[in-house]
Amino acid sequence: MAAPIRPRLLGAVDYGQTFGAMQEFTAARDAATPDELWICEHPPVYTQGLAGKAEHVLNPGSIPVVQSNRGGQVTYHGPGQVVAYPLIDLGRAGYYVKEYVYRIEEAVIRTLAHFGVTGHRVAGSPGIYVRLDDPGSHAALSGPQHPLEPFRGLGKIAALGIKVSRHCTYHGVALNVAMDLEPYSRINPCGYAALRTIDLSTIGVSAGWQEAADVLGRKLVTYLLP
């Protein structure tokens, strides 16, 4: 039987301090260290991934920009967003990074389903998206998206960026619940100028941060177990 993943609810915590704590946890862990799942929210901050390009940060204003070692481009964290950091030993879990990403996305999709929303994957663009005109639609995205507007009709509701060190993961996924979305207009989210970012509140779902955190935490624990 697989060892349980230990959930830790951190509440509102500084991004930089949490980033450092994840690195320290990962560097210190050994084969016997239990996996953990840290759930939190951050004060307003832009984070750049390893591939991040400065031109995608348009007008940060007073919001700090922090360089991170996760994958991907720039994203925003702020109050009203559930951020989940799985600290998983993939060698012990027995699956690879591609499946790990799929499992995280599946946990988000199941979380959205709990709230009556249908989440979609877009090939080549990690994260979860919803139809803006019909967030509850179960119909699959038909065919390839428009080549010049790959996100036409879609809004991104969950961003994903991970780091794997010695087969152990950190960073993770952010689900937008009820946020001030204006800061997203000051960046090209995940490097896409035409990408609209949304939250549950925008599409008519009234859910508190704690409720969304509880559901996402349960789904991640379920879907990340071997």
What superfamily in CATH does domain 7-224 come from? Bira Bifunctional Protein; Domain 2 (3.30.930.10)
Helix (H, G, I), strand (E, B) or coil at 184: helix
pLDDT at 1 over 60: no
**Residue from 190, 207, 216, 224 carrying the catalytic annotation:** 190
Whether 187 shows a pLDDT value over 80: the answer reads yes
Residue 188, token pair as written in the block = 């090209």
Average pLDDT over residues 70-78: 95
- For residue 21, the model assigns a pLDDT of 98
- At 13, which amino acid appears? V
Residue 194's pLDDT is: 76
Q: How confident is the model at residue 142 (pLDDT cuts 50, 70, 90)?
A: low
Q: What DSSP line would sit under 53-83, residue for residue? A: -GGGB---TTS-EEE-SSSSS-EEE-TTEEE
Residues 6+ apart with CB under 8 A from 146: 152
Local confidence band at 192 (pLDDT 50, 70, 90 cut-offs): confident
40 is catalytic: no
The string of pLDDT tens digits covering residues 148-172 is 466 878 999 999 999 999 999 999 9
Domain limits, the chain: 7-224
Q: How confident is the model at residue 147 (pLDDT cuts 50, 70, 90)?
A: low
Q: What is the pLDDT of residue 146?
A: 58
Q: Which residue has the higher pLDDT, 62 or 226?
A: 62
Average pLDDT, integer, range 100-115: 98
Q: Given pLDDT bands bounded at 50, 70 and 90, which one contains residue 207?
A: very high
Residues 6+ away with beta carbon under 8 Å from 102: none
User: Would you say residue 60 has pLDDT above 90?
Assistant: yes
